[in-house]
C-alpha cells in the first residue's frame, strides 16, 4: 500500500490522480487490499476535489477553501453576538476538511480509512505550506518590497496554524475534535522546514 500511496501522491494535480487511479484499477492482477485502497482514495479524491476532476481544467481544492474560510472566520472575530454564525462556519469548514466528528455520514467504515485520510491531510498541508514558502507575496512585507527571511515565514505559518487549528476551535470547545488534523499539519510543517 505504501508504494501505491507514493505513486498516487507523486501526481501533483487532481486530474492526474484520477487518471492514475483509473489506470491502476484496470490492472488485472490487483489484490483485494489494493482494490479497497483504490476505492478509498477515489472517495477521498471526490470529497476533496469534486466528482469529476479528470474532466475539468481547473479544479478547486475543498480542503484549501475550508482552511481559508477558517482563517477568515478567525480574523473577523466580532464578539459575542456573532458566535452562533461563527460556530456554523467552523463546523461547515471542519466537515469539508473531513474531520470525522463533523460529518453527517462517514465516508467509510474501513479500518484503513483513517490512515488514508491522514495521508490526504498530509498532502494538503504539504501543498499549502510549500505554496506559502514559494509565494513572493507571502514572503514579503511592505507591498512586496522587503523580503522576509525564511525563519520568519515559518514562524508566521506556525502562528497561523496555531490560531486556526487551536485558538479558533477553543472558542467553541472543539479542540479535541480538531486535534487530529492539527497534529498532521504541525508534523507536516515540521518535516517541511527540517529539510
Tens-place pLDDT, residues 18-41 = 999 999 999 888 889 999 999 999
CB atoms inside a 10 Å sphere around CB 124: 23
| Percent of the chain predicted with pLDDT > 70 | 88
This prediction's pTM:
0.88
pLDDT band at 134 (very low <50, low <70, confident <90, very high): confident
Q: What is the DSSP letter of 174?
A: -
Point out which residues pair with 140 in neighbouring strands.
147
First vs last C-alpha separation in the chain? 25
Cβ atoms of 22 and 46 closer than 8 Å:
no
The region of weakest confidence among 68-72, 150-154, 173-177, 182-186 is 150-154
Cβ atoms of 35 and 76 closer than 8 Å:
no
Residue 50 has pLDDT above 90, yes or no: no
Amino acid at each position: 500500500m505504501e508504494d501505491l500511496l507514493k505513486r498516487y501522491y507523486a501526481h501533483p494535480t487532481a486530474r492526474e490522480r484520477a487518471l492514475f487511479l483509473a489506470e491502476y484499477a484496470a490492472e488485472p492482477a490487483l489484490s483485494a487490499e489494493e482494490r479497497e485502497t483504490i476505492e478509498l482514495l477515489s472517495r477521498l479524491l471526490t470529497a476533496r476535489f469534486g466528482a469529476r476532476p479528470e474532466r475539468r481544467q481547473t479544479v478547486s481544492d475543498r480542503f484549501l477553501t475550508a482552511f481559508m474560510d477558517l482563517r477568515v472566520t478567525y480574523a473577523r472575530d466580532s464578539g459575542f453576538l456573532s458566535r452562533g454564525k461563527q460556530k456554523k462556519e467552523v463546523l461547515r469548514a471542519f466537515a469539508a476538511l473531513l474531520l470525522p466528528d463533523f460529518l453527517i455520514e462517514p465516508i467509510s467504515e474501513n479500518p484503513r480509512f483513517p490512515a488514508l485520510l491522514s495521508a490526504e491531510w498530509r498532502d494538503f498541508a504539504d501543498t499549502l505550506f510549500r505554496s506559502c514558502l514559494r509565494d513572493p507575496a507571502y514572503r514579503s512585507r511592505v507591498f512586496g518590497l522587503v523580503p522576509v527571511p525564511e525563519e520568519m515565514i515559518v514562524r508566521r505559518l506556525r502562528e497561523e496554524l496555531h490560531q486556526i487549528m487551536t485558538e479558533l476551535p477553543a472558542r467553541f470547545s472543539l479542540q479535541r475534535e480538531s486535534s487530529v488534523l492539527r497534529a498532521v499539519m504541525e508534523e507536516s510543517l515540521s518535516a517541511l522546514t527540517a529539510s
